[in-house]
Amino acid sequence: MTLQLHDTMSRELVAVEPIEPGHVRLYTCGPTVWNRVHIGNFRTFIFEDVLRRWLERRFPKVTHVMNLTDVDDRIIKNAVEHSLSLDEETAPWIAAFDEDRDTLGIRPAHYYPRATQYIEQMVELIERLEKAGAAYRTDGSYYFHIAAFPEYGKLSGARAEGLVTGASGRIDADDYTKEDVRDFALWKAVGPDEIGWDTRIGRGHPGWHIECSAMSMSLLGESFDIHCGGVDNIFPHHENEIAQSEAATGKRFVRIWCHSQHLRVSGEKMAKRLGNFATVPDVLEEGASPAALRYLLAARTHYRKSLDYSDDLLADSTMAVQRLVDFQTRVDELHTVEDANPRDEAILASVRLMRIGFDEAMDDDLNLPEAMGIVFSGLRDVNRVLDSGDVSAETQRTLQHLLADVDDVLGVLALVARDRQAAPDAEEQRWLDERAEARAARDFAQSDHLRVQLASRGIEVEDTPQGQRWKRTSPRRG
């Protein structure tokens, strides 16, 4: 079966057929690094990570670019207030994004272009647009002339009829609402003492939309295969990307547009401006594991459906991860026999059905929730067979390979394994030291009390002639 994705432009399922055979070029809109990214944003980033992983399963080569928007109105405002350069202002938020990305097991993109590193490419693109009659200069700033691009609105359905060029028909803000169908800023003129760049089109800084066009085309070409983001990027950002890119090149900008729906809280979109957001550290500090949070964001519902975040849903996701962990442990600890028997045949038949069902669900617009439903149903069948007796070592290896292949896409068992190997945090190490001292002083009541505390953190302690030893039996939390 061929991988098909829902294309926002055509509103249809479209087969992924790379422009360059065997090589998928993927661009995903990354964070604007003015604050710590919240888990609503990470729902999109994890959808894109699952897509990247599945593309790598289906095609010999994938090139993934995710931009970092490190200059916009908010960042400049914060830098001025804090008396910092743009690099100084954005550095901690970029580091925080990298940390959260790694915590959730998201594979790093091949390229992370920063807007501030592509000023020359943006200037060149603006010059091309001006030459094509699609950009104009007013008071030192440059604007895209929407009326010069008749196809404007083909992604979002936004209507540009009646647009009047002039002061009332332009918009300078980077963050604006859906009714603002107006000529948008490509380059914003600034004074000599303001943050900006001296270029041949004047001193200024780029508008939000020109950044992604310049970076994506520089790294992936003027036409590429897949562009992703959240649904809130459709308008104005992606609509404006299409307009300025295609007006400059005369070519189709992107083959397939993919957008994930919002993560919601009590029926409202999770957003900083609404004050209803949580960050990855917030969720982990409340006791969730990275694996459970990743499972919730990746597999509780299809990426094109909104997802209501709740403690109950997180608890269900924790249980789902634990079911996978328990099955993995059972398989690894199987007592095997040399010769195959009817139990092996039954298990291998279940594995074939799981593989076929998983692949078909993933090829059908990346339906990971359905794929995992098929896996869990199959694992129940396999568990019943394992309850009836031993299987061969070959069947054990087949089950291990199945779990590895599923998790290569889902990405949760790897997080559990990583966290189980994590060193004790400061408090856990203090309890371990205090317990060793209590054992040496023969204070067995305190020793047992500390054993219980450590167990609550998923640390199992064993006393040996050489002293106490410990191992993690569940992921470290918080």
Supply the DSSP string of 236-299, one letter for each residue. Answer: IIIHHHHHHHHHHHSS--EEEEEEEPPEEETTEE--GGGT---BHHHHHHTT--HHHHHHHHHH
Structure tokens given for 241: 């990307």
155 has a pLDDT exceeding 70: yes
Residue 477's pLDDT band (cuts 50, 70, 90): low
Question: Residue type at 109?
Answer: A
Residue with the larger pLDDT of the pair 94 and 173: 94
Residues 6 or more apart whose CB falls under 8 angstroms from that of 72 comprise 32, 34, 174, 208
Distance CA 476, CA 458 (A): 7
Please give the pLDDT value at position 165. Answer: 43
Lowest mean pLDDT among 137-151, 276-290, 381-395: 276-290
pLDDT at 175: 54
Task: Please provide residue 24's backbone torsions phi and psi, each rounded to the nearest 5 degrees.
Answer: -95, 130
* pLDDT beyond 90 at 103: yes
Length of the chain: 478
How far apart are alpha carbons 217 and 208 in whole angstroms? 16
CA 45 from chain centre, in angstroms, equals 2
What is the tens place of the pLDDT at every residue in 276-296?
779 999 999 998 999 999 999
At 460 the pLDDT is: 86
Residue 303's SS3 state is coil
Question: Residue 68 pairs with which residues in a beta bridge?
Answer: 114
Please name the residues in contact with 344: beta carbons below 8 A apart, sequence gap of 6 or more: 391, 392, 394, 395
Range of weakest confidence among 37-51, 175-189, 379-393: 175-189
What is the rounded distance in angstroms from the CA atom of residue 70 to the CA atom of residue 205?
A: 11
Backbone angles phi, psi at 59, to 5 degrees: -130, 150
Percentage of the chain with pLDDT > 70?
A: 94
Q: Are 76 and 35 in contact (CB under 8 A)?
A: no
Tokens found for residue 296 = 């919730």
Mean pLDDT of 230-243: 96
pLDDT of residue 178: 41
pLDDT at 151: 95
Q: How confident is the model at residue 168 (pLDDT cuts 50, 70, 90)?
A: very low
Structure confidence at residue 475 (pLDDT): 58
Provide the whole-model pTM. 0.90
Q: Is residue 345 very low, low, confident or very high in pLDDT (cuts 50, 70, 90)?
A: very high
* Position 233 pLDDT exceeds 50: yes
Question: What's the mean per-residue pLDDT of the chain?
Answer: 92
Cβ-contact 272, 389 below 8 angstroms: no
**Is the model's pLDDT at 13 over the cut of 70?**
yes
Return the higher-pLDDT residue of 178 and 50: 50
Position 179 pLDDT exceeds 60: no
Task: Tell me: pLDDT of 174 over 80.
Answer: no
pLDDT of residue 274: 58
On the question of pLDDT at 430 being above 80, the answer is yes
Q: pLDDT class for 51, splitting at 50, 70, 90?
A: very high
- Average of per-residue pLDDT across 50-59: 98
CA distance 446 to 312: 35
Most confident of 157-161, 230-234, 271-275: 230-234
Mean pLDDT, residues 310-326:
95
378 in Cβ contact with 351 (< 8 Å): yes
Strand duo 467-472 + 459-464: pairing? antiparallel
The predicted pLDDT at position 25 comes to: 98
Instruction: Provide the pLDDT confidence category of residue 166 given band limits of 50, 70 and 90.
Output: very low
Give the Cα separation of 391 and 40 in Å (integer). Answer: 44
Residue of 410, 425, 399 lying closest to 372 (CA atoms): 410
Q: Which of 67, 63, 45, 93 is nearest to 208 (CA)?
A: 67
What does the pLDDT read at residue 265?
86
Strand residue runs (E) in 1-158: 4-7, 12-15, 23-28, 61-66, 135-138, 141-144
pLDDT of residue 63: 98
